[in-house]
Each structure stands twice: as structure tokens, then as C-alpha cells.
Amino acid sequence: MSRRLRSEGGFTLPELLTTMWIAGVIMLAAFALVDFVMKRTAEAEQRVEATQRGRTGMDMITRQLRSQVCLNVAPPIVQGTADSIQFYTDLGDSTASSLPERHTLTFNAAAGTMTEAVEKPNATNPVTWKAPTTKIMLSGITRDTDAAGNPIPIFQYRGFDNTQTPVQISTANLAVPLQATGNAGKVAVVKITFRSVARRTPRSQVSFAIADDVYSRVINPNPPDQAPANFTPTPSCN
């Protein structure tokens, strides 16, 4: 009996400890891989969500600005700053009964939102406006930054540069506020730039920069037959 027991093999304590150590290393590596994959999957989902939300918001903004119209020979853009723009727009069916509205888009840096205030005409001659209805158009956004880390304005406005032939869009922004500086009637293009940030807070910030330009449809860059000296194109509602 004792000979049979002595002949039966088994694990020694060092062998058992070595096996447990190897199994522990493998399990730690597996858990680290799972954690890495889950983190990257969450970041990808958040990037997709931020991208889709930002592009949808940009589409709504540009749709309104591309539908800007003059009102009683007044330029379409009423006033504008780095964080806000007010303009006349017609999103109707372009019939005689379709009346323009006055829209104001405002970026709230503290809340990270873009709000839309819509004023419908109350009377047409002279034009008066009903009380505005306000809603949040876009949330989870912030200012983008340039290569040097400086914040980029949400709205930038540019006119024409008459120092070039043919006349080109200026590379310098018009001074704001537009109404106070007399630049409201000089806007040839509105540049919109912001960064869409994921709603959830991951281990590393996930955001997406989005930008677009809207050109005025009431700009005629060609000078008249009797072009004055230093002619600079401006919006014309005639």
C-alpha cells in the first residue's frame, strides 16, 4: 500500500505556485485588453454621437442663413457679434403670402448651447414683430481654437477686398458688432465654427470641430458701368 502511494505523482508546491503566477499574469493581461477595448468603443460611440449632433446643428444654422432675404430694401443681416447673429430669413414657399421672419442665433458659452429666437411679423407696413419664441437649437458645443490655442469666434463676417483684381473675399474679418460699426451691409460671407463635445465625460475628452461658410446671395461683385474709384461690392437689395 505504501509503495503504491509513493509511486503516485502530483504537483509540488513550487510547481503549483508557478502555475498560479502564470495564470494570474494571463488574467491581468486579459482584463487590461478588455478595459482598453471598452474604452476605445465608448470613445468611438461618443465621437459618432458628437459628430452627428454637430453636423445636424450646423445644417440647421446654414439652412436659415442661406435663406436670408432683404426686408424693405434693408440688408438681410441686421446685426452680429462673435457669439450672435440676427437676420431676416424666409423658410416658406416663396409665395406672396410667405412672409420673412427675423431670427437671432445666440451662443451661450456657459451652457454650451446655441439658442434660436424667432420673431414673426405682426404687421407689414411698417413692419412690427411679435414676441419671439426661443428654443435650444444645439447643445454640447464650445468654441474651437486655432493652432496657437486662441479661441475662434462662433460667427465671423467678411466683406470684399477691392485691392485685388478681380475683387476677392477679404481674408480679414469685419469689425463687430456689425450694427455699431456700420458693417451690417458689407457682409459677403458668414463663417461658422464650433466644436461639438460628447455629452458623456470619458477618460479623455472626445470632441469634433465643424465649420462652414455661408455666402450672401444678394452680393454682386461686378462694378457698375461707371465704376467709382476704389469700388467695393456691397449687398444690394434693389
Question: What are 193's strand-pairing partners?
Answer: 211
8 A C-beta contact, residue 39 and residue 206: no
- Phi, psi for 142 (deg, rounded to 5): -150, 170
N residues, the chain: 238
> Per-residue b/e over 46-72, b at no fewer than 16 CB within 10 Å?
bbebbbebbeebbeebeebbebbbbbe
pTM for this prediction:
0.75
The ranges assigned to domains in the chain are 29-215
Residues 109-164: tens digit of each pLDDT: 999 999 999 999 887 777 889 999 999 999 999 999 999 999 999 999 998 887 77
Residues 185-213: tens digit of each pLDDT: 889 899 999 999 886 654 566 788 999 99
Higher pLDDT, 41 or 202: 41
Of 81-85, 89-93, 126-130, the range with the highest mean pLDDT is 81-85
8 A C-beta contact, residue 80 and residue 186: no
